[in-house]
Chain A
Amino acid sequence: MSVIPLTYSDLLLAATLVLLLAGSSFALSLGISRDLLIGALRTVIQLLLVGLVLKVLFAHASLLWISAMAALMVAVATREVYARQSRPLAGGWGLGVSAVPLFVSSFTLTAIALVVIISPQPWYLPQYAIPLLGMVLGNAMTAVALGLDRLTSSAFQQRGQIEARLALGQTWRQAMSGLQRESARIALVPVINAMAAAGVVSLPGMMTGQILSGTPPMEAVKYQILIMFLIAAATGLAALLAISGAARRLFDERQRLRLDRLRAPR
Chain B
Amino acid sequence: MFQPHARNSSWAPGEKCGLVAIIRTVATILELERFASRRHDLSDAPLSRVTLEIRAGEIVTLSGPSGCGKTLLLRAIADLDPATGTAVLDGKQRDQYSGPEWRRRVGFVATESAWWETCVGDHFSTPPGSGDIAALALSTAILGREVADLSTGERQRLALLRSLANQPRVMLLDEPTASLDYDTTLRLEVMVRDYVASSQCGVLWVCHDLNQRRRVADRALAVIGGVVQTADKAERS
Interface residues of A (CB under 8 A from B): 158, 160-161, 163-171, 178, 252-260
Contact = CB atoms under 8 A, between A and B. Distances in A.
Which DSSP category, helix, strand, loop or mixed, fits chain B's interface? loop
A167 B115 contact: no
Contacts of B159: 164
Contacts of A254: 79, 82, 98-99, 102
B148 to A, nearest CB: 14
B164 to A, nearest CB: 11
A166 B116 contact: no
Contact of A167 (B39, B40, B78, B98): B78
Nearest to B101: A169
B81 to A, nearest CB: 7
Given A160-B112, A163-B80, A169 B103 contact: yes
Question: Which of A161, A164, A257 lies at the interface centre, i.e. has the most chain B CB atoms within 10 A of its CB?
Answer: A164
A207 B105 CA distance: 60
Interface of B: 39-41, 78-82, 98-104, 107-108, 110, 112-116, 125, 159, 162-163, 166
B39 A260 contact: yes
A158 B100 CA distance: 19
A161 B115 CA distance: 6
A168 B80 CA distance: 11
B40 to A, nearest CB: 4
A87 to B, nearest CB: 13
B86 to A, nearest CB: 15
Contacts, number: 64
A257 B112 contact: no
Nearest to A160: B114
B80 A166 contact: yes
B163 to A, nearest CB: 7
A167 B108 contact: yes
A163 B114 contact: yes
A169 B114 CA distance: 15
19 contacts: A160-B112, A160-B114, A161-B115, A163-B80, A163-B114, A164-B159, A166-B99, A166-B103, A167-B107, A167-B110, A168-B107, A168-B125, A168-B163, A171-B100, A254-B79, A254-B82, A254-B99, A254-B102, A260-B40
A254 B107 CA distance: 16
Nearest to A254: B99
Contacts of B104: 168-169
Interface centre among A160, A257, A259 (most CB of B within 10 A): A160
Given A169-B101, A169-B103, A255-B98, A164 B115 contact: yes
A253 to B, nearest CB: 8
A168 B103 contact: yes
A255 B99 contact: yes
Given A161-B115, A164-B114, A167-B110, A256 B79 contact: yes
A178 B116 contact: yes
Contact of B81 (A158, A164, A165, A256): A256
A158 B112 CA distance: 13
